[in-house]
């Protein structure tokens, strides 16, 4: 018999932020941990999301036993609907995580075909030769787990995303004892979250935002709008509780906010007192002095509710003078301009806008800072350590931190995507790279989300490219004459003229339905044009050309 061996193969998230995915392999059995997506950078024009290249898994299709999810954030589950098309394997996750997955798979028409297996923190599952324990950890959503995976070579611990919150909102503490127990027993390898390795000290508890929220809610002369990530159920819980405490009722606005609240409430993980909720249709008429509204769109995504509320282009609510607006979220690098443009619209309307931690914490991170990372290293005392989740400098600094702590008895292994490591009883060996990379996905509009298009040269040759050119008068904000359309490989000449003429009308309509503030914000107007045009052209021609709107000020 050959000696036992364990391969760890990072397929995403090591050297980049997002699309986390790690494969473990022993003999002919592969276990995949997480299947995340990332949002495209601005350079990836015309792309909706980016997922990991799973060539390696497809090449070893028969050996993949399961995908195990650590929690329900997009950078850990977002690639599932695309990957399951190619690789229909069982998916393990906790209750809330699977509820989010179920929703997503339903939209993609994949729910029936998928074998979802619910797990409980503290329990074990046998998956081929892997025995997996799910360990409760605290993070910026609920039902998060780390994994302790018993393999023929030893125990591997994968922290998932975590912070060590000493006073979690739901009273369910980080399971330090499980980490201690495995550390006592002996751990082959620790894979751990590097996101906040640049931050000294401890990440504050989620509860740390309570005081400032209470202060602002009490001081608010009119209605209060709070925006946070929709999956941050504990933040939502605190907003609900503070609202109840100060005698305000609560409304929810935005698809992701409403979905997440419904799911968490349905699972009993969000407690909302009877009679506290304002129905959407009552928001406009409700006494503004008695209301708090949770709105999704904290990152000022072009079509999000908060973006539209900010320019008075939302059906359910508006921002008015003396309203209090609280951005209870990190301003993610890359989103600053859009976020501040959105906040400026609110300032212009004379809202009281709070968006930084200067006057008291309005947001805390969900990721471990240096002292928590050291604590995990000291508890687990692994033979090998590999930093996960981060750009290169973050992985590097986490590796350096581990060296400094000195709790790793063997080696600190700095890996990047596609670089496998093989563990045996004798040591850890770097192996030949496997194919990895980004796959760009055009996920389709909501009605037609089942049509997934992988953006590549082949697709471009078939579906072509459309460059609508829109000239907007910078003084009046009005469009100068009809938009021009530059196309290539998109339509046969016979009926092309007609479709393109109609497409011009679609653009005109999109612009007409936008207000002046939206028209001045090129990123918003371009995204609206792209989405509307995509839907129209797809309906008319069944094609999905790459659409690159160009706006000129004249």
Q: Which of 1, 62, 112, 475 binds its own copies (CB under 8 A)?
A: 475
Alpha carbon 209 to its chain's center: 22
Count the site residues for its own copies by CB under 8 A: 57
Residue 475: CB minimum distance to its own copies, A:
5
Residue 372: partners with Cβ closer than 8 Å, 6 or more residues away: 162, 163, 164, 202, 203
**Cα 19 to Cα 534: distance, rounded to the nearest angstrom:** 25
Does 462 help bind its own copies (rule: CB under 8 A)?
no
Separation in Å, CA 54 to CA 87, 208, 252, 541: 9, 40, 37, 31
Q: Which of 1, 2, 3, 43 binds its own copies (CB under 8 A)?
A: 43
Does 465 help bind its own copies (rule: CB under 8 A)?
yes
193 classed as catalytic: yes
**Cα 355 to Cα 430: distance, rounded to the nearest angstrom:** 45
Given 367, 389, 398, 419, which residue is catalytic? 367
Does 116 help bind its own copies (rule: CB under 8 A)?
no
Q: Which of 31, 51, 311, 546 binds its own copies (CB under 8 A)?
A: 546
Given 193, 241, 417, 442, which residue is catalytic? 193
- Cα 49-228-339 angle, rounded to 5 deg: 65
Residue (of 184, 175, 209, 199) closest to 371 by Cα position: 199
Task: Write the interaction track for its own copies spanning residues 186-205; mark x where CB under 8 A is met and - where it is not.
Answer: ------------x-x-----
Stretch of 250-258, 319-327, 335-343, 420-428 lying at the interface with its own copies (CB under 8 A): 335-343
What's the order of all strands across the beta sheet hosting 453-454?
49-52, 438-442, 453-454
Does 429 help bind its own copies (rule: CB under 8 A)?
no
Residue 538: partners with Cβ closer than 8 Å, 6 or more residues away: 444, 445, 448, 451, 544
Closer CB to its own copies, 255 or 337, in the complex: 337
**Cα 40 to Cα 443: distance, rounded to the nearest angstrom:** 12
Residue (of 389, 367, 421) closest to 14 by Cα position: 389
Does 214 help bind its own copies (rule: CB under 8 A)?
no
**Cα 210 to Cα 363: distance, rounded to the nearest angstrom:** 10
Does 321 help bind its own copies (rule: CB under 8 A)?
no
Does 531 help bind its own copies (rule: CB under 8 A)?
no
Residue 546: CB minimum distance to its own copies, A:
7
Does 53 help bind its own copies (rule: CB under 8 A)?
yes
Binding site for its own copies (CB under 8 A): 15, 41-45, 53, 198, 200, 333-334, 336-337, 340-341, 343-344, 347-348, 353, 356, 358, 391-393, 396, 435, 437-440, 455-458, 460, 465, 467, 469, 471, 474-475, 480, 484, 486-488, 522-523, 526, 546, 548, 550-554
**Residues forming the active site:** 193, 367
């Amino acid at each position: 018999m050959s000696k036992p061996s364990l391969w760890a193969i990072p397929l995403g998230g090591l050297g980049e932020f997002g699309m986390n995915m790690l494969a473990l392999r022993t003999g002919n059995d592969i276990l995949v941990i997480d299947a995340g997506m990332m949002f495209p950078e601005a350079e990836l024009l015309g792309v909706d999301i980016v997922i990991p290249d799973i060539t390696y898994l497809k090449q070893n299709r028969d050996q993949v036993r399961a995908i195990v999810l650590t929690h329900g954030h997009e950078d850990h589950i977002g690639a599932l609907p695309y990957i399951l098309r190619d690789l229909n394997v069982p998916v393990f996750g906790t209750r809330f995580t699977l509820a989010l997955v179920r929703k997503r798979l339903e939209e993609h028409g994949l729910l029936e075909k998928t074998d979802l297996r619910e797990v409980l923190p503290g329990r074990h599952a046998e998956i081929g030769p892997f025995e997996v324990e799910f360990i409760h950890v605290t993070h910026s959503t609920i039902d998060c787990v780390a994994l302790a995976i018993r393999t023929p070579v030893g125990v591997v611990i994968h922290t998932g995303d975590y912070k060590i919150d000493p006073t979690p909102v739901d009273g369910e503490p980080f399971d330090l004892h499980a980490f201690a127990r495995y550390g006592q027993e002996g751990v082959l390898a620790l894979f751990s979250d590097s996101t906040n390795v640049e931050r000294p000290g401890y990440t504050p508890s989620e509860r740390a935002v309570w005081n400032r929220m209470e202060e602002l809610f009490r001081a608010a002369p009119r209605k209060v709008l709070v925006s946070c990530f929709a999956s941050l159920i504990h933040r939502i819980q605190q907003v609900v509780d503070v609202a109840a405490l100060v005698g305000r009722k609560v409304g929810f606005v935005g698809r992701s906010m409403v979905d997440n609240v419904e799911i968490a409430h349905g699972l009993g993980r969000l407690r909302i007192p009877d009679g506290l909720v304002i129905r959407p249709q009552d928001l406009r008429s409700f006494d503004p002095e008695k209301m708090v509204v949770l709105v999704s769109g904290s990152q000022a995504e072009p079509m999000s509710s908060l973006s539209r509320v900010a320019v008075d282009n939302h059906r359910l609510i508006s921002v008015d003078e003396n309203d209090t607006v609280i951005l209870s979220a990190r301003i993610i690098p890359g989103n600053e301009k859009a976020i501040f443009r959105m906040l400026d619209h609110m300032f212009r309307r004379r809202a009281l806008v709070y968006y930084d931690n200067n006057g008291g914490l309005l947001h805390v991170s969900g990721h471990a800072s240096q002292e928590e990372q050291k604590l995990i290293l000291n508890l687990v005392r692994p033979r090998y350590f590999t930093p996960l989740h981060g750009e290169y400098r973050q992985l590097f600094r986490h590796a350096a931190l581990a060296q400094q702590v000195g709790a790793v008895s063997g080696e600190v292994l700095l890996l990047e995507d596609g670089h496998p490591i093989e563990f045996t009883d004798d040591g850890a060996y770097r192996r030949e790279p496997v194919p990895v990379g980004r796959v760009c996905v055009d996920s389709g509009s909501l009605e037609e989300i089942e049509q997934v298009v992988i953006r590549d040269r082949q697709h471009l040759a078939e579906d072509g490219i459309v460059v609508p050119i829109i000239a907007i008068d910078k003084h009046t904000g009005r469009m100068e004459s009809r938009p021009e359309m530059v196309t290539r490989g998109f339509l046969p000449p016979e009926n092309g003229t007609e479709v393109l003429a109609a497409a011009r009308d679609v653009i005109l309509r999109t612009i007409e339905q936008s207000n002046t503030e939206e028209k001045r914000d090129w990123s918003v107007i371009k995204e609206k044009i792209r989405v509307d045009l995509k839907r129209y052209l797809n309906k008319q021609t069944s094609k999905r050309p790459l659409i690159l709107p160009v706006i000129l000020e004249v």
